[in-house]
Chain A
């Protein structure tokens, strides 16, 4: 299966809180898992990405946790800020040829001031 399932569809978090977005996949051939942030009227911008040979990757306030056996990965945004309010997409790609991304359906995050 090529789908990447993403949840929740929307999320409201207080300033300073932790935002958690989850994704699950079926195709074990996927080997690259990026997260993108998209503001209204803009194109998606890469936040952070992980390969399945590591279980966690952290960049600043953003952390990806990866569970290969469960075929799940998640994005954690620590100390969430109003400027983080955007739509977040997980994606997956695999090495067999084209490196095209299969995107999740997105999570609309709103961080309350």
Chain B
């Protein structure tokens, strides 16, 4: 596909469980971002990758959250010991990586922690 894809589209889990959310960016895009969007709010920045490295992880709320991008393409956001407050839509975006380039967003993964 031409756009950013995210899987799964929906994830329901129980408090304390571990979850992985996957993002496939647009081919050739070197920059990848994760955002979290709570109900009725704007997306909030979590982490930014330039290539394989996390260039800015200042938005990760705590050490239960971790993300990787081992080959500079697909990225996985990992959440350990999930809490009910982690329930949100997790959005992934990619861009060509240069200043001011448009970020293209995926449809998001809706995470519900029971």
Contacts and interface: CB of A to CB of B under 8 A. Distances in A.
The finding on whether chains A and B are genuine partners in a shared complex, rather than unrelated, reads yes
A97 B55 contact: yes
A20 to B, nearest CB: 18
B25 interface: no
A44 B43 contact: yes
A104 B37 CA distance: 12
A100 B42 contact: no
B4 A43 contact: yes
Interface string B84-106: 00000001010100011111111
Contacts of A46: 102-104
Nearest to A51: B100
B56 interface: yes
A2 B104 CA distance: 22
Contacts of A32: 99-100
Most interface-central of B41, B100, B101 (chain A CB within 10 A)? B100
A91 to B, nearest CB: 8
Interface of B: 4, 31, 33, 35, 40-45, 48, 55-56, 59, 91, 93, 95, 99-108
A102 B31 contact: no
A22 interface: no
Contacts of A43: 4, 91, 93, 105-108
A45 interface: yes
Interface string A72-113: 000000000000000001010101011111111110000000
Interface residues of A, number: 27
Given A6-B42, A93-B100, A100-B48, 11 more contacts: A43-B4, A46-B102, A49-B100, A89-B42, A91-B42, A99-B48, A99-B99, A101-B33, A101-B45, A106-B40, A106-B42
Contacts of A93: 100
Contacts of A89: 42-43
Contact of B42 (A41, A98, A104): A104
Contact of B44 (A34, A41, A45, A103): A103
